[in-house]
């Protein structure tokens, strides 16, 4: 065994961390030409699922996979880029809704083309390996 790790469990954590970084960097490179971070793209994709309707900041945060995301900071940057708009909810003045514009919805469709083959990053795995890995990753998160 590699002396870097105390045991196979320690090695697993290192592998998961490196793999997450590998995938994150792959997506970052694809988004760079569009001047978007991975987190910004995730926000835009989530808002696209609601389009033409909106989501509140709370609903957006609930749907994000990065539990430590600063939704306010992310949405501030997207508002500054004219990709989303903030609107006060007429039924609840304390609630702020976030929505894509027609132009930004079209922009997201254009960016999504870059990810039409994003599964290619794991396409060398067999169907059985993918099923096993999915099962194990689910088990880690849902212990």
Residues 6+ apart with CB under 8 A from 65: 42
Query: pLDDT tens for residues 66-115?
Result: 766 788 899 999 999 999 999 988 888 888 899 999 999 999 989 988 87
Query: pLDDT tens for residues 15-43?
Result: 999 999 999 999 999 999 999 999 999 99
DSSP state letters, 21-83: HHHHHHHHHHHGGGT--HHHHHHHHHHHHHTTS-EEHHHHHHH-S-TT--HHHHHHHHHHTTS
Distance CA 132, CA 122 (A): 13
Distance CA 42, CA 68 (A): 13
Three-state DSSP at 2 gives: coil
The whole model's pTM is what?
A: 0.82
Query: pLDDT tens for residues 44-72?
Result: 999 999 999 999 988 998 888 776 678 88
What pLDDT shows up at residue 1?
61
What pLDDT shows up at residue 115?
79
């Amino acid at each position: 065994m590699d002396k870097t790790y105390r045991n196979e469990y320690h090695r697993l954590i290192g592998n998961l961390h490196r793999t997450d970084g590998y995938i994150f960097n792959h997506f970052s490179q694809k988004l760079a030409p569009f001047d978007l971070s991975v987190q910004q793209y995730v926000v835009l994709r989530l808002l696209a699922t609601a389009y033409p309707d909106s989501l509140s900041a709370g609903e957006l945060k609930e749907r994000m996979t990065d539990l430590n995301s600063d939704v306010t900071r992310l949405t501030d940057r997207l508002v500054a880029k004219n990709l989303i708009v903030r609107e006060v909810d007429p039924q609840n003045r304390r609630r702020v809704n976030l929505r894509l514009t027609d132009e930004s919805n079209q922009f997201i469709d254009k960016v999504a083309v870059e990810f039409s083959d994003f599964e290619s990053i794991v396409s060398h795995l067999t169907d059985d390996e993918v099923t096993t890995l999915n099962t194990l990753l689910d088990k880690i998160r849902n212990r």
